[in-house]
Structure 1
Amino acid sequence: MEELPSVLWSYRTTPRSATQETPFSLTYGFEAVVPAEFITSSPRMVAYAAEVNEEERRVDLDLAEEKRDMAMAKVAIYKNILTGYYNARVKHLRFNPGDLVLRKNSVSRTEPQEKLNPKWEGPYCVVESSQNGYCKLAYRNDSRVP
């Protein structure tokens, strides 16, 4: 319990890989001074001047919204890179009318998801399918699956 504040502080002041920004700087518009910088003389603490700092702080606050927008753009690029990385290993299957398939039980939610319940339901017959993987299914007696 005593370590929680220092763990949260380190989490908030560590740059994220997606944005290269710290959550603290995105929230407040400027970087935080780490407590260790008070103990040892760091270049930031040596170069501190109150008058200049106040002016630079106002500039940082003016540019905070732009910094957040840039971070959102970086996150979008990062997500596209990750999506491409994971989708490169996907083997796309095309279902033809008449194929028998199983459907995940969590999709239809006909039964509650419990530990011992079946994960799949079916088999269903594919009535029609599209290029993006969407399929219309029917029961064995040719009635459509809702």
Structure 2
Amino acid sequence: MTTGETPFCFIYGVDAVLPVEVSLIFPRVEVFDLSLALESLHFHNDLLEETMEEPRLRMIAQQEKMAKYFNKKVKAKQLKVDNLILRDSVTSQPTVSGKFKPTWEGPYRVSKVVSAGTYELTHLDGQPIKNA
């Protein structure tokens, strides 16, 4: 394109102009104003952030709604000393994997409550287990 020519399709979102329309002078080509098109482009770019913000806010609201629904059904249970529990086998044997590996191991006895959700465990015979 040489200097002085006006581009008819200079960015995505603008209709492409066919060579036939240029040669036969259609009203769309004849009325085209580059400064108006650039002004419109800048206006749409300014609104782009607001346009993208709305779906993001809807997504966050939906995630919060789903979390609230899920957490409504969760019941926290505090364990006490001498309670019997099962432990997830992934924590004690992270290298063992496979389709037929056991999911849980135990039972174990809670010997000490370190903090909420953290406990020291012992075997049923009283032998302590490493890694609370």
For Structure 1 versus Structure 2, the TM-score category normalised by the shorter chain is 0.5 to 0.7
Can you list the C-alpha shifts for 1:58-87, whole angstroms capped at 9, x where unaligned?
223233334444444333222111011112
Q: Equivalents in 1 of 2:92, 2:129: separation in Å?
A: 14
Q: Equivalents in 1 of 2:102, 2:32: separation in Å?
A: 66
- Which residue does the alignment assign to 2:45? 61
CA RMSD of aligned residues (A): 3.2
Q: Equivalents in 1 of 2:91, 2:79: separation in Å?
A: 18
- Which residue does the alignment assign to 2:66? 82
Q: Secondary structure at the match of 2:39?
A: helix
**1:54–1:119: structure 2 CA closer, same or farther, 3 Å change rule?**
same
Q: Equivalents in 2 of 1:62, 1:50: separation in Å?
A: 22
Q: TM-score, normalised by structure 1?
A: 0.51
Aligned length: 99
Q: Which runs of 5+ in 2 are unaligned?
A: 1-12, 15-30
Q: TM-score, normalised by structure 2?
A: 0.55
Q: Which runs of 5+ in 1 are unaligned?
A: 1-31, 34-48
- Which residue does the alignment assign to 1:103? 87
Task: Tell which structure's C-alpha radius of gyration is larger.
Answer: 2
